[in-house]
Amino acid sequence: MTWYIVVFVFITLLGAFTLSYQIYKLTELDASCRGLKHPKFWGVFALGGNNGSGGLLLYLLGRRKYPAQISETDALEMNSRKKKASVSLIFIAVGAVCLIVTVVFTM
């Protein structure tokens, strides 16, 4: 039964890592579309914070001063990344629920 736990932990971690990467790329793309300096820094900054989302919250508050000038290709890429982020959330949710059910039924 322990290999089930390992598989579900792997699925949950895979979803978490891909979600953080998608948030990084979405923030980087948004910062470059808004004309902010150092968009890669803003992508990394959005991932940081004490509780994991403090940097993203500060980025979202700070970007309001800059209007978005998104091209058609950037809009398509942003929509694609949003879909990938939702798939990552599904991986996290399914992995966590299956992990909890497996642990409860094995003990």
Taking only the tens place, the pLDDT of each residue in 72-96 is 999 999 999 999 999 999 999 999 9
Q: How many CB atoms lie within 10 A of CB 64?
A: 8
pLDDT tier for residue 51 given thresholds of 50, 70 and 90: low
**Gap between the Cα atoms of 102 and 104, Å rounded:** 5
Residue 42 token pair: 């803003």
Q: Which DSSP string do the residues of 26-71 spell out, in sequence order?
A: HHHHHHHHHT-S-HHHHHHHHH-SSSSSHHHHHHHHHGGGS-----
- The enclosing H or E element of 86 equals helix 72-106
Average pLDDT, the chain: 90
Domain range enclosing 53: 2-106
Answer with the residue of higher pLDDT: 38 or 50. 38
Give how many domains the chain has, as a whole number.
1
